[in-house]
Amino acid sequence: MQWGVDKADELDIEAWNEASAMGKPLYEKFGFRSLFRFAFDTEKKGASDEWRRMEHEMTPYPFYAMWRPRKGVWDEAKMPWELGVQP
């Protein structure tokens, strides 16, 4: 992780990743913040027992889209969706 963060800083670029709930705290230690959480909605009206069983067994765990601004400086950072937008 440190090598990647150092390289992003050297190149003066922002960094992105996707994290599991278990990995999220590691990335936060390196200056990343979660922008949003992805979870799959597999709810089905009138679902059969088989559907609910498969939903339980096969639905992926949620994950997080994480971002770190240039040099990890948050107080001056614009959110990614604001980059390139003129005031």
Model confidence pLDDT, tens digit, residues 29-69: 999 999 889 888 888 899 899 988 988 888 888 899 999 99
Specify the higher pLDDT residue, 87 or 17. Answer: 17
pLDDT (mean) for 2-19: 94
What are the residue ranges spanned by the domains of the chain?
Answer: 2-72
Would you place residue 79 in the very low, low, confident or very high pLDDT band (cuts 50, 70, 90)?
Answer: confident
pLDDT for 84 equals 64
pTM equals 0.72
pLDDT for 41 equals 83
Contact 64, 19 (CB under 8 A): yes
Helix, coil or strand: residue 23: coil
Give the DSSP letter of residue 62: P
pLDDT for 7 equals 96
Report how far apart the first and last C-alpha atoms of the chain are (Å, whole number). Answer: 34
